[in-house]
Structure 1
Amino acid sequence: MAREATEVASIAQKVKARGRRHLRVRKKIRGTPERPRLCVYKSNRHIYAQIIDDIGGRTLAGSASVYRELFLNREELDKKGVAELVGRDVARKALSQKITEVVFDRGGFLFHGRVKSLAEGARAEGLKF
């Protein structure tokens, strides 16, 4: 019983730490109409990306691994592969709206693994950051 309580406490600490990191990053990063913010969120199962104009308060483009039409053959890919597809998709949507440069907001997550794969996928499609 005591072990379960410490596991719950450590999960709560991890969530708090990510929140603090996210606030620290967001103090410095601001999305503008000329250079919007590419925001990343990941859960254990899915990954989400949005391109946001913070001044106008609008989401300009977005993609996620929950979109069925994008990932019909997702069973063949690992989580990093899916993250790269999400990055490519959000970059295509941004480029169709003539957005070529963004500011990358990792959302308090460390820049490795799925977050890095998403960024590499977006860069591969031509998004600059």
Structure 2
Amino acid sequence: MNRLEEKRHRLSKRIQTIRKAIRSRKRRPRLVLNRTNKYLFAQIIDDENGKVLCTASTLEKNFSGPKKNIEAAKKLGEVLAGRAKEKGVSSVVFDRRGRLYHGRMAQFAEAAREGGLEF
């Protein structure tokens, strides 16, 4: 196993461990932020029913401006919080998918909190 494969394997193990802990302790929907090199994707997932309640991404046609930086993360947090309000979701658990709470992740979370979501 080369270095990159080891790194991806460790990340997937962290993701599984964190997801298991969140599911066992909390009965609130899970807010997941997934970031790639080009785009950001956010979902609110109800694990009890196995349904995605709402979603937002920088890949959408109505999303203008930069697609992957901190400003995009702020805008994405505001958009997702608005959509969650429309669906009646106010309290969630933030799933960072094994990533550090820093940069785009932190700005997204702050914007979602300002938009009305409680973590």
Q: TM-score, normalised by structure 2?
A: 0.89
- Tell whether 2:108 aligns with 1:125: no
Q: Distance in 1 between matches of 2:2 and 2:61?
A: 35
- Match for 1:28: what amino acid? A
1:52 equivalent in structure 2: 45
1:16 equivalent in structure 2: 9
Structure 1: which 5+ residue stretches go unaligned?
1-7
- Tell whether 2:79 aligns with 1:89: yes
- Tell whether 2:20 aligns with 1:27: yes
Structure 2 residue corresponding to 1:64, chosen from 57, 69, 73 = 57
The 5 Å alignment of 1:74-85 reads: 74-75=65-66, 79-85=69-75
- Match for 1:57: what amino acid? G
Q: Distance in 2 between matches of 1:78 and 1:98?
A: 28
- In the alignment of these two chains, the number of paired residues is 117
Q: Distance in 2 between matches of 1:82 and 1:93?
A: 16
Percent of residue pairs identical: 34
SS of aligned partner of 1:111: coil
Structure 2: which 5+ residue stretches go unaligned?
none
Offset of residue 13 of structure 1: 2.3
Offset of residue 10 of structure 1: 2.7
Computing the radius of gyration from Cα coordinates, the structure with the larger value is: 1
- Tell whether 2:94 aligns with 1:101: no
Offset of residue 78 of structure 1: 6.3
2:31 equivalent in structure 1: 38
- Match for 2:29: what amino acid? P
